[in-house]
Structure 1
Amino acid sequence: MKTRRIIATFLVFSLLLGASACKKKEKPSETTTELTTTEQTTTQPTSTTVDTVNGLYDPSNPNALNPLTGLQLMDPENEGMRSVAIVINNCYNALPQRGISEADAIYEYETEGGQTRLLALFADVNTVPEVGSLRSARVISSDLAAGTNSIFIHYGRNARVPDHLTEFGIDHVDGNNCSADSNSSANGPVVLGEGLFFWRDSTWLSLRSREHTAVSDGEHISAAIDYFNIDRVGETPLLFNFVPDNSVDIENGSPCTTLNVFFSATNDDALFTYDPEFFIYYKTQYGGEAQIDETSGNQVAVTNVIVLFADIQPHGDGTIDAYLQSGGNGLYASQGQMVPITWTKPTPNDPITIYNMDGDIVEVNRGVSYICVVDNDYESDTTYS
């Protein structure tokens, strides 16, 4: 699926750039074959969707529009269903991860000790591969999930999270309360007991600390959603102001072929490097190591990189607070260009909206987005060229 998204994004930009007489490179023919043979023929999306997406929908394409990417690659059966947002470990001892190359969007944010975690969003829970290692919730991750109306999936939580989830009505599943001690898909289909939907991978248990071993997949997460009577019906809003043509904001941007995001002294080199052939940024971290999905073998690759500088402060109990309601400055990179932005998120349930320097909502290119939430104090340490 990730390969399909990269190919689809490549096709979109190839056609658009060709139409505007810009330089483009020829795509290998075998990847075109993969794209055209894997689509399903099903019912067309409704006219309501056509009205909503402002030109992103192609009526000749039988697939539905993915609201997290703006690409028309989603199973129409998932239209009108909520996305899921899954907390994934990102400390060095928890690498490699699983499932991250298939996500429709990824948030990365700081937790305690300068470590970062990921929140991987999937528009269709049925497409979630085995994913992990799963980690515990923080208020910031619950708020990022709530802003997309996603069902929040986590494995444990800190003490302040339960009251916050209740106060703002954030639907969630805590895998720590419904997990088997060990299992492994490498040994065949995973069979869990009644009321269990997560497990600790038996292979990982032999290689890393226990807290870095929790996993699940779309089949079991979907079953958990039903088991806990969570309503999965509900629109997932468009993640950003996606545009069918090249973003005007990006066309007027500054060159950005490398973007190094400084989260903390612990994680100071989240580096995105642009590939002009496929119009994507590849991610490395921890001394230049490629961020690899263990299952697919693919490196994390995205169309858009968005950096949101935020007011992040110590809470006093060893944890931190991110005051997302304060908004802030930021950066938006795509197609080898970058523009400065500002952003807002007034309440936990509000989406993040990004603006250009004229105060207009930024046009965002279709494709997978990687959104970094970074302490204001490190704005000058985040660099690009």
Structure 2
Amino acid sequence: MTIRALTKLLLTLSAASILLAGCQSGDTAAPTAPGGTGETPAPVEQPVTTQPAAYFSPLTGEPLEAPMQNRPLAVMINNAPAARPQSGLQSADIVYEVLAEGGITRLVAIYQSAVNTAKIGPVRSIRPYLIDLGESYHGVLVHAGGSTDAYAIIQSLNKEDLDEISNAGAYFWRDKSRKAPHNLYSSGDKLRAAAEKRGYSLLDSEVPAYTFRKEDDVPQGEPASKVEIKFLLDSYHVSYIYNAKTREYERFVGKKAHKDKDSGTQLSAENIVILGADHQILDKVGRLSVDLSSGGKAVMLQRGRVIEGQWIRAKNDVIRFVKDGAEVPFYPGKTYFSIVPNSPGFDSHITITK
């Protein structure tokens, strides 16, 4: 064989070797399946999994990114007809309605989640059982005056309070569009500034927590599209009507929607608890003693249904709704409590419509 022929043979073998190596590498296109186009199939999207929240609000059950450590404010809210509509109630986590003297009712609004509510009020005076309600949530008590007995408790036991009359007047203001005493207001920022100036702690990681259902839990109980609550006077007749779209009970006073003065939003809550307590008249003015410890009959409305049960109160705890000895969970959101007299009978104060 000539040199020229040998060289040609070697070049041919070398080219064949390179071609074979390329065919064995991972860079070659995948073989086309019978009937296929030869294109690489698109990647299958994996379902997105949502991590459950690590923290929840102790009073509303709503998810949080960090532990809730705000100390609540417990504000006494005027509920006289001349004080309506009020401001800031839609920002409260919990609202209590309870009788004061003369057949009127007062509201105790518990603010923990919304620390900077722009306007809260009108603010009104305090009573011993309202102190009890506010402190059950570890709240700083916010009021304008009070009964003799309430002042005696606050002063003798060094309660942490913000009183427009005695110790925090600079942190309240009067709305000139309304007549006194139905025109006294404050704000979340002002009240917390007042508490800080008086040396009260604004942090509390031990606020009693409620138990809560999951949002998609099936509601229990009998159908209840509406509940009417009668205290003593017609001007304080309250009703809650269920809105299936929002899954909340909307509040009415008389036949009118009870709205926030500034936003125009109708007040509503996910959970309504009505409980009976023993009331005792103390004096000629009609001041009351209300038993908030002994427990008794109660009903709870949520998601268009009503559950009959009882309320209980352990020492240093909040009022809780139970059935067959176990606490019934709330749905996440706001809760309104109505405390009615046991006399002439708990059932005489409520009317439930299916």
Give the TM bin, normalised by the shorter chain: 0.7 to 0.9
Which structure 2 residues correspond to residues 135-214 of structure 1 after superposition, within 5 A?
135-165=124-154, 170-178=159-167, 196-204=170-178, 208=179, 210-214=180-184
For the residue of structure 1 that corresponds to 2:199, the secondary structure is coil
In the alignment, structure 1 residue 300 sits paired with structure 2 residue 270:
no
Counterpart-to-counterpart distance in 1, 2:73 and 2:206: 10
The amino acid that maps onto 2:173 is W
In the alignment, structure 1 residue 326 sits paired with structure 2 residue 300:
no
Shift in Å, 1:200: 1.1
Structure with greater proportional helix content:
1
Aligned with 2:327 (options 361, 366, 384): 361
1:67·1:236 contact (CA, 8 Å) conserved in 2?
Answer: no
For the residue of structure 2 that corresponds to 1:278, the secondary structure is coil
Counterpart-to-counterpart distance in 2, 1:149 and 1:179: 19
* Aligned match of 2:107: 118
2:92·2:114 contact (CA, 8 Å) conserved in 1?
Answer: no
Counterpart-to-counterpart distance in 2, 1:340 and 1:220: 41
For the residue of structure 1 that corresponds to 2:272, the secondary structure is strand
Shift in Å, 1:71: 0.6
1:247·1:364 contact (CA, 8 Å) conserved in 2?
Answer: no
- Aligned identity (percent) is 26
Shift in Å, 1:150: 1.2
C-alpha spacing 1:179/1:151, structure 2 compared with 1 (3 Å): closer
The root-mean-square deviation of aligned C-alpha atoms, in Å, is: 2.2
Which structure 2 residues correspond to residues 38-117 of structure 1 after superposition, within 5 A?
58-59=53-54, 65-72=56-63, 76=66, 79-117=68-106
* Aligned match of 2:42: none
1:125·1:221 contact (CA, 8 Å) conserved in 2?
Answer: no
2:105·2:236 contact (CA, 8 Å) conserved in 1?
Answer: no
C-alpha spacing 1:289/1:307, structure 2 compared with 1 (3 Å): same
Per-residue CA shift, 1:229-269, capped at 9, x if unaligned? 11122125345222235567xx3301111011111134452
2:93·2:113 contact (CA, 8 Å) conserved in 1?
Answer: no
Counterpart-to-counterpart distance in 2, 1:231 and 1:301: 31
Which of the pair has more CA radius of gyration? 2
Counterpart-to-counterpart distance in 2, 1:247 and 1:322: 35
Counterpart-to-counterpart distance in 1, 2:208 and 2:214: 13
Number of residues paired by the alignment?
Answer: 300
The amino acid that maps onto 1:219 is D
For the residue of structure 2 that corresponds to 1:177, the secondary structure is coil
1:312·1:320 contact (CA, 8 Å) conserved in 2?
Answer: yes
* Aligned match of 2:202: 232
Per-residue CA shift, 1:20-65, capped at 9, x if unaligned? xxxxxxxxxxxxxxxxxxxxxxxxxxxxxxxxxxxx9614xxxx53
* Aligned match of 1:30: none
Shift in Å, 1:179: 6.1
Aligned with 2:342 (options 358, 365, 376): 376
* Aligned match of 2:303: 335
Counterpart-to-counterpart distance in 1, 2:97 and 2:138: 18
C-alpha spacing 1:104/1:236, structure 2 compared with 1 (3 Å): farther
**TM-score, L = length of structure 1:** 0.73
* Aligned match of 1:36: none
C-alpha spacing 1:303/1:124, structure 2 compared with 1 (3 Å): closer
